[in-house]
Amino acid sequence: MAGIISDIFGWYKHLEVDKDKALELIGDDAVILDVRSGKQIKNVEPIFEENFHLEFSEFEKKFNESLEKNLFKKDDLFLVFCKSGSKGLKAVRLLRSIGVENSFNVKYGTNAWFANLDGCGT
């Protein structure tokens, strides 16, 4: 719900991408970070096979661990998604604050990914 205010004023516009842009970034070999909880992942069909599951509750710790294991590098292109887009946005803000400039959140998360786009979903 908190997102309604920032949406009106467009505070985080530069941190977020829509579905089309996200697909474009994936074409550019973006590293996909999934910050959903295990239960949320189980309830929705998977989006991409190749992604790193860094649960939001311990996102920073797991991110640093993966860096140490050389699973990806700090100057890679990152695409973060969660269920509704709000945790993903927080994760991206955290990434930017530790100097990962090439990171973006999928706006409205998997909810938007699987929604039918004529706006008639019931």
- Kindly list the residues in this chain that would bind another protein in the complex (CB under 8 A): 1, 3-4, 7, 43-45, 84-85, 108, 111-112, 114-116, 118-122
Residue 31 or 109: the one with the smaller Cβ distance to another protein is 109
Joined together, the tokens standing for residue 52 give: 């790193």
Smallest gap, in angstroms, from Cβ of residue 112 to another protein? Answer: 5
Smallest gap, in angstroms, from Cβ of residue 65 to another protein? Answer: 31
Smallest gap, in angstroms, from Cβ of residue 46 to another protein? Answer: 13
For tokens 């991409």, name the residue.
48
Contact 111, 18 (CB under 8 A): no
Exposure letters 23-43 (e unless 16+ CB within 10 A, then b): eebbeeebbbbbbbeeebbee
Residue 43 or 64: the one with the smaller Cβ distance to another protein is 43
Residue 7 or 60: the one with the smaller Cβ distance to another protein is 7
CA distances from 53 to 59, 96, 106 (A): 9, 19, 15
Smallest gap, in angstroms, from Cβ of residue 59 to another protein? Answer: 22
Q: How many whole angstroms separate alpha carbon 4 and alpha carbon 96?
A: 22
Residue 5 or 97: the one with the smaller Cβ distance to another protein is 5
